[in-house]
Structure 1
């Protein structure tokens, strides 16, 4: 019977689709907006939200993988790959093969003898010898044309997760090739981070007015607390005065992913791995140790790569932080970002102000700082797996911390940084 009890990992799901602790955030009408789009169509729907804020979970709740064509932008590096991925999903044949065979036969009568008891006599034996020849003709079918024929006017939605991962020239090719299909009724949903939500319009100006936006947005503390309340109640665990839940929500950087993880680890820290037979009180851990332990498993490798820079150099100018730590310009910029809280969206001016506050010497020049931010973006994109942890938008002059786990690491993983 004990084996049938809910396990904490079934209740608090970090990195997967939650069931018990799923929060539709009904006051934002997110599910209804997607359902309305599926009813109406004739536009592209862009669902945007920061990393690990529940974008994919939301869309999958409405369109399970079996009910749509799901593609990952991170796995698409060319338009050819895009069309081939859809063809594979639809089970389409990309070539037609015709084979024809011919066979010539020769009949021969062979004289022979058969011994049956003591009698001997002659018999006729027929043998068949022959040859076969064949011709095989293969004709390749145009994959985009074939896929477009199937998709046109269909009601099966096409979902491109992590649309922002695709190179912009590939985005442009794909959006242009989908325009007429969208006009004819194909439902196309792209999922992206907020500052890339308008990539569809940025790469193809003609899509202006033909893109509908659904912003998932950051979670507030009440929404995050709802995850804990649902889960703890299912496990028969109690946070008597609500202080534990409040603290977890404050440290979650508006991410349900982090909140799920924190709740899971709090249960384990209290020795609970399954639902209890009767309600039991949760106790507060040593918070500094609790969060430092979580941070050590979060984004240290990403931080190390960014702090190192594009290559190891011995001629970088040393810079001393007010904490006494000696670092270089990469470490100084990371210290400045962390000093802001860190905030997950920063202008150059905010970073420069923070640099003045964390450095014991003069702050670097503007061109130096922007060059470092651009280099960090390249490293985050090319050398770090998954969502880029930071992204500097040159056009907007803003730095985005795209991954709440990285923001969490900057707060708890490197205490001597600032």
Structure 2
């Protein structure tokens, strides 16, 4: 058996290699490639946070053909061509070669011809701002060549991208402002009609952002949904990964790992990586080793993983209010401990974290199961009011994709990292 490092097997935060699951039954790669081949439509790839959208694109589109642009890369949509040029490394421009003799540099000489060439981004910038390129001398012939650049960069880039089968990928499109979205889609319309290959990656229920950005985009997009992972798909990661490390777990232990991944491949990679750290599994074992994970060890593994503690800390602290101090409530299982309504809600959500949608009445019941009182406190109105303030804190932290939201008497939690952290935050 080949010896491999555990850090190369389980790779939270980076593209998976040894444990990559192409989810063949979903046929996602086929759907993407077929839509791009037909052309004329922007592929809109949607799915929950860290469900594997970006990894999928990187596996389907070869590195040599992929121009990947993160929303944070875009500083000015009106100059998007310069960002694309930087990603390419070299850009095509039309070069006109003018031949002159050294003795008569100032004379006007006819153009010998036009040819396509690639020049560095910096050389283009120099020409764009009016800086003349250096004159290169051919000592043998005694000739000098002066390069001039007379193209519109955006048009030339798009022509080059289409001709050479590049794929433009805009990740986290929903983080752009409405104005930026509108301008970007407007600029992509013409290349799209010329069969430019374009993929936009965003979270669910935001497909309309692309259509709303330009009035005639209706019918010019194709949404491909990246669904939540099934237990079978998730199980592939620990099974195949630990097999490469010559480690065995019981089916029951593997099921616990999968059940606590919140249907998220990144999280299951993180859990497996944490298990390797806890049991000092740094590379393939010489002999097959069975590792037992009891409940206490499981809790220690899960409690050692943390992604959103700063947000939960902010929510627990709550919004600053004037006047009297917050009312404290004793816990049924520990009368000496006292928590305010914010802290009680966090504890209650930990019990309900396996749900994406929680009815207000269900949350109220969960809070009352924790609090020791005989007056029905905290009251439902207080719980719902506090919940509203908690949502405001989450929205302030991430306005485009808050970890929690509340509408129509329902609390929504679609961030798997928040759900995981809140479940294990107060586990003993």
Structure 2-normalised TM-score? 0.74
2:380 alignment partner, SS class: coil
Name which of 221, 225, 236 aligns with 1:226. 236
Q: Superposition RMSD on alpha carbons, in Å?
A: 3.4
Whole-Å Cα distance in 2 between the matches of residues 362 and 140 of structure 1?
72
Whole-Å Cα distance in 2 between the matches of residues 177 and 236 of structure 1?
52
On the 8 A contact 2:41/2:222 being kept in 1, the answer is yes
Instruction: Evaluate the alpha carbon distance shift between residue 307 and residue 196 of structure 1 in structure 2; reply closer, same or farther with a 3 A threshold.
Output: farther
Equivalent position of 2:95 in the other structure: none
Pairs aligned (count): 368
Whole-Å Cα distance in 1 between the matches of residues 347 and 79 of structure 2?
40
Shift of 1:264: 2.2
Whole-Å Cα distance in 2 between the matches of residues 317 and 73 of structure 1?
41
Shift of 1:372: 2.4
Equivalent position of 2:221 in the other structure: 211
On the 8 A contact 1:337/1:343 being kept in 2, the answer is no
Instruction: Evaluate the alpha carbon distance shift between residue 23 and residue 362 of structure 1 in structure 2; reply closer, same or farther with a 3 A threshold.
Output: same
On the 8 A contact 2:278/2:301 being kept in 1, the answer is no
Whole-Å Cα distance in 2 between the matches of residues 139 and 369 of structure 1?
62
Name which of 14, 17, 22 aligns with 2:15. 17
Shift of 1:259: 1.0
Shift of 1:249: 0.2
Equivalent position of 1:406 in the other structure: 418
Whole-Å Cα distance in 1 between the matches of residues 318 and 77 of structure 2?
32
1:19 alignment partner, SS class: coil
Q: Which runs of 5+ in 2 are unaligned?
A: 91-120, 135-147, 369-376
Equivalent position of 1:375 in the other structure: 392
On the 8 A contact 2:71/2:171 being kept in 1, the answer is yes
Moved more, 331-340 or 10-19: 331-340
On the 8 A contact 1:306/1:380 being kept in 2, the answer is no
Equivalent position of 1:364 in the other structure: 381
In the alignment, is residue 252 of structure 1 matched against residue 261 of structure 2? yes
Whole-Å Cα distance in 2 between the matches of residues 308 and 261 of structure 1?
28
Name which of 11, 19, 39 aligns with 1:41. 39
Shift of 1:329: 5.5
Whole-Å Cα distance in 2 between the matches of residues 202 and 334 of structure 1?
37
Shift of 1:339: 3.8
In the alignment, is residue 281 of structure 1 matched against residue 290 of structure 2? yes
On the 8 A contact 1:193/1:402 being kept in 2, the answer is no
Equivalent position of 1:120 in the other structure: none
Equivalent position of 2:64 in the other structure: 66
Moved more, 254-263 or 144-153: 144-153
On the 8 A contact 2:394/2:404 being kept in 1, the answer is yes
Equivalent position of 2:140 in the other structure: none
Moved more, 32-41 or 184-193: 32-41
Whole-Å Cα distance in 1 between the matches of residues 133 and 3 of structure 2?
63
Pick the structure with greater CA Rg.
1
Equivalent position of 2:197 in the other structure: 187
Residue-by-residue CA offset, 1:194-225 (whole Å, 9 max, x unaligned): 23344212434532222212211111111111
Q: Which runs of 5+ in 1 are unaligned?
A: 102-137
Residue-by-residue CA offset, 1:150-189 (whole Å, 9 max, x unaligned): 4466521100111222122211221122122112111111
In the alignment, is residue 341 of structure 1 matched against residue 353 of structure 2? yes
Whole-Å Cα distance in 2 between the matches of residues 290 and 27 of structure 1?
35
Instruction: Evaluate the alpha carbon distance shift between residue 62 and residue 306 of structure 1 in structure 2; reply closer, same or farther with a 3 A threshold.
Output: same
Equivalent position of 2:130 in the other structure: 97
* 1:132-147 correspondence to structure 2 within 5 Å: 144=154, 147=157
Whole-Å Cα distance in 1 between the matches of residues 343 and 60 of structure 2?
43
